[in-house]
């Protein structure tokens, strides 16, 4: 069985190997885990000896099939707990991440089975992220950042690329949530900021950075 720390490293490596098809570097992992490169090297050796990643000195790591399965199991738990916190306990979507970071490490397959049933087998968490099924299968939805869509077009918000509470609270304030219909009215060339209309009512301007983190279903 994996330790809490091993699970966290594996999850980070999984996420990092999603964006960028190259091997994941020691320093990337150190950055993601808020730790030192030397500590990462130690853990890399450990996960490598357990065949969860493959590793060639000085050339970064690749996650193995088994590593991916284990990482997806942790991600499944994380997202099911986030769904529970928002839909059953009434948490705000910006306040669930840290608590779910703890809950995801509870070891009880029966608990997760029953939680999944209790929630009605949700396919996505409150941030629009897909929840892997118990075999690690993901229903991946096609999506693109709001920053990509053209002036005059509209789309439905289906996910966010940043789950930080500050970003999500900002979205709350401007009335954007999963399912909102957003129409791009203006696009500034010099800074990439947008003028958008949310749900046919509220007009707001969005920075390029914000619009890159709002994902539109295709």
> Contact region for a copy of itself (CB under 8 A) — 14-22, 101-109, 163-171, 205-213?
101-109
Site for a copy of itself in 47-76 (CB under 8 A): none
- Name which of 90, 88, 81, 68 is nearest 112 in CA terms: 81
Query: Residue 17, interface with DNA (CB under 7 A)?
Result: no
Near DNA by CB under 7 A: residue from 17, 26, 73, 193: 26
Q: How far apart are CA 91 and CA 98, in angstroms?
A: 12
Site for DNA in 175-194 (CB under 7 A): none
Q: How far apart are CA 6 and CA 33, in angstroms?
A: 11
Query: Residue 1, interface with a copy of itself (CB under 8 A)?
Result: no
- Name which of 9, 25, 10 is nearest 58 in CA terms: 25
* Nearer to a copy of itself (CB atom), residue 119 or residue 138: 119
Query: Residue 108, interface with a copy of itself (CB under 8 A)?
Result: yes
Our CA dihedral for 63, 64, 67, 73, rounded to 10 degrees, sits at 100
Query: Residue 174, interface with a copy of itself (CB under 8 A)?
Result: no
DSSP output for 122-153: -SB-TTS-B---TTS---PPPEEEGGGSPTT-
**HSE value, Cβ hemisphere, 13 Å, CA-based, for 132:** 15
Query: Residue 44, interface with DNA (CB under 7 A)?
Result: yes
**Is the Cβ–Cβ distance between 25 and 57 less than 8 Å?**
no
Work out how close the CB of 57 gets to DNA at its nearest, in angstroms, rounded to a whole number: 4
Query: Residue 169, interface with a copy of itself (CB under 8 A)?
Result: no
Work out how close the CB of 149 gets to a copy of itself at its nearest, in angstroms, rounded to a whole number: 37
> Contact region for a copy of itself (CB under 8 A) — 9-17, 23-31, 85-93, 136-144?
85-93
Q: How far apart are CA 145 and CA 154, in angstroms?
A: 12
Residues binding DNA (CB under 7 A): 3-6, 9, 25-27, 30, 33, 35-46, 55, 57-60
């Amino acid at each position: 069985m994996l330790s809490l720390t091993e699970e966290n490293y594996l999850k980070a490596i999984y996420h990092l190997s999603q964006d960028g098809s190259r091997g994941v570097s020691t320093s990337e992992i150190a950055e993601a885990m808020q730790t030192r490169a030397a500590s990462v090297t130690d853990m890399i050796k450990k996960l490598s000896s357990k065949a969860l990643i493959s590793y060639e000195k000085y050339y970064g790591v690749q996650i193995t099939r088994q590593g991916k399965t284990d990482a997806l199991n942790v991600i499944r738990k994380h997202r099911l707990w986030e769904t529970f916190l928002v839909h059953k306990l009434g948490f705000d979507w910006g306040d669930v991440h840290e608590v779910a970071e703890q809950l995801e490490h509870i070891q009880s397959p029966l608990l997760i089975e029953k939680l999944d049933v209790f929630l009605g087998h949700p396919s996505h968490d409150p941030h629009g992220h897909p929840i892997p099924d118990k075999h690690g299968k993901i229903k991946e939805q096609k999506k693109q950042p709001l920053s990509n869509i053209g002036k005059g077009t509209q789309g439905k918000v289906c996910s966010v690329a940043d789950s930080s509470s500050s970003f999500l609270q900002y979205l709350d304030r401007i009335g954007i949530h999963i399912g909102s219909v957003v129409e791009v009215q203006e696009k500034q060339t010099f800074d990439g900021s947008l003028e958008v209309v949310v749900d046919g009512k509220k007009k707001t301007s969005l920075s390029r950075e914000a619009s890159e983190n709002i994902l539109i279903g295709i």
